[in-house]
Amino acid sequence: MSGTFRLTLFTLALFGLFAAFLYNSPYAHFPEMPSPPSPQITAIVVGSGLAGLSAASQLIAKDVPVRMLERGAKPGGNSIKASSGINAAPTRYQPTLDDAFFSDTVKSAGKAMLFSTPQRESLISILTKSSKDAIEWLVQEKGVDMSKVSIMGGHTFSRTHRGAGQTPPGFAITSTLLHSLKTSPLFHLQTSCTVTKVLHSEHRVTGVEYTGEDGNIRKLLGPVIFASGGFGGDAEGLLAQYRPDLAGYPSTNEPRPGTQPLLTAVGAQLIDMEYVQVHPTGFVDPAAPSSPLKFLAAEVLRGDGGILLLNGKRFIDELETRDIVTSAITATPPEHALPKQWSVQLVLDQGVYEAARSHVDFYIFKGLMKKITISELASGALESISRYSRVVRGEEADTFGRTRFAQWKLREPTPDSVVYVGTVTPVVHFTMGGVVINERAEVLKKDDEGVIEGLWAAGEVTGGVHGANRLGGSSLLECVVFGRTAGDRCVDYIKDHRHEL
Ligand SMILES: Cc1cc2nc3c(=O)[nH]c(=O)nc-3n(C[C@H](O)[C@H](O)[C@H](O)COP(=O)(O)OP(=O)(O)OC[C@H]3O[C@@H](n4cnc5c(N)ncnc54)[C@H](O)[C@@H]3O)c2cc1C
């Protein structure tokens, strides 16, 4: 044999060995994009909302390359819209020893706590106990201002954090994390691409298939973290399937299909899909009253002391949980059939306005609220507001049981007293249900057959932690807590299985 021939044979043998290695690799089905047998295994994060950004931050911090795939043209998902804040206690800004966070969450979860109780309690315990670390991470490590704390419906104590300035918390947090990620050469974000399939071998998830901006279908290989959000905007699909009674309701979420079916296709278990949070206060925009997409009236407006009037009368303790406030509204006949909507006035006095000024000025700018006098409200409003002011002054008990009035300062209302008002209606807002995860953010198989290897999920795509009703401020928290957990566990997985991947 000539030397050249021997060299050729040797090269072919080497190539054969490499091909055999690839063939035995779990990512072997897609030779068009082989995973290099190097330590640089790339983690795939589906969705660029807070859960995805939190997961990616942990991966990047531990030098694992990340490919983030995002369906939208811009990153941020619903997380960027979050307007009230993120729950945590105790924190440097909320030093009260707050054991009630766990019990408030359990109480709010309601009837769902009757089944899968230990698993739910375990997730809730992690959520609430990790909240301090979550805020510390955002404040200390990432430099996000979280110094203002307020109370929202269903909470025993003030524990919802946001910044003291004008920037809404969702934008402040997501833009900071994204900015920090973009400084790493290991981070790669691809927008306008939709993940359509989860790929798997016999034993584990091996990657995803996605449609890019050019319409071409591509495969990407690596362990996968799903952070693709809820299905509140999937009116014709999952929402119609699990809650046909909510057909016709407007929503705060962009119309888009839910992603849970991509995960059930690889054996994921679902929970609580029928529990859909209808937020009591989505703005009815006077310029587009019939639009199915509504802008949320931040809960903090009620938390800071605002009241709700239906036909000029109060009808509920405004600090009740969302489901209770919503039920009180929807027990009355709707004003419009399609979209199905009511006409409730959200009313703030000057004191509440001052406290929530950054929100209200923005709503006024958007034409969703206006500054008027009480005489311009529905008849009966003056009497209702006068009675509320007497309750605030401590002269009589509230018929509806409200005991906290925050910044309401109006003592002697007259027809000329200034108020800030917007029309609101219940809107589909948040889906409590989704894929079941454990404490390690691993996705559980149906029939309790263990976890799906190589797959994690965090944020609104998951279910179980909020039960039948989520407390305001706890969604951003779950994104940070379980998003970071998913990132950390994915790092461990890559380390432990490096030789197999
Ligand atoms: C107006 C509004 C205000 C809110 N205010 C608060 C608040 O103050 N406090 C609070 O705790 N919660 C709040 N929430 C709820 C909270 O914002 C969301 O539940 C949370 O941000 C969800 O985060 P996420 O990362 O799970 O999903 P998202 O932020 O929705 O991100 C998911 C991303 O995945 C992308 N995606 C989906 N499917 C695919 C696919 N197949 N392929 C690729 N990409 C995909 C989506 O385009 C999206 O960008 C609010 C929600 C809304 C709508």
Atom 15 in ligand 1: which residue has the minimum CA distance?
475
For residue 501, what pLDDT is reported? 74
pLDDT along the chain (501 residues), means of 10: 46 39 37 49 97 98 98 96 93 85 95 96 97 97 95 88 92 98 98 98 96 96 98 90 91 91 98 96 96 90 94 95 91 91 97 93 96 96 96 95 92 96 97 98 92 98 96 96 98 90 74
CA of 120 to the centre of ligand 1 (A): 22
Identify the residues whose C-beta falls under 6 Å from ligand 1: 46-52, 69-72, 77-79, 81-86, 170, 194-195, 227-229, 252-253, 259, 296, 430, 459-461, 473-476, 479
Q: Which residues are catalytic?
A: 279, 302
Q: Which atom of ligand 1 is nearest to the CA of 252?
A: 53
Please provide the size of the chain in residues.
Answer: 501
Atom 14 in ligand 1: which residue has the minimum CA distance?
82
Report whether the peptide linkage leading into residue 90 is cis, meaning its omega lies within 30 degrees of zero.
yes
For 458-483, letters b (16+ CB in 10 Å) and e give bbbbbbbbbbbbbbbbbbbbbbbbbb
Domain coordinates of the chain in residue numbers? 77-187+225-275+432-496, 277-428
Q: Which atom of ligand 1 is nearest to the CA of 483?
A: 25
For residue 428, what pLDDT is reported? 95
Show the 3-state SS of 66-114.
Answer: EEEECCCCCCCHHHHHCCCCEECCCCCCCCCCCCHHHHHHHHHHHHHHH
CA of 258 to the centre of ligand 1 (A): 12
What is the C-alpha to C-alpha distance for residues 283 and 345, in angstroms, rounded to an integer? 10
For residue 81, what pLDDT is reported? 93
Report the residue among 69, 79, 211 best suited for mutation to probe ligand 1: largest number of ligand atoms under 8 A from its CB.
79
For residue 39, what pLDDT is reported? 57
For residue 5, what pLDDT is reported? 43
Same fold, 77-187+225-275+432-496 and 277-428: no
CA of 98 to the centre of ligand 1 (A): 27
For residue 460, the SS3 value is helix
Atom 3 in ligand 1: which residue has the minimum CA distance?
82
CATH code at 277-428: 3.90.700.10
Atom 10 in ligand 1: which residue has the minimum CA distance?
473
Considering the domain 77-187+225-275+432-496, what is its CATH architecture? Answer: 3-Layer(bba) Sandwich (3.50)
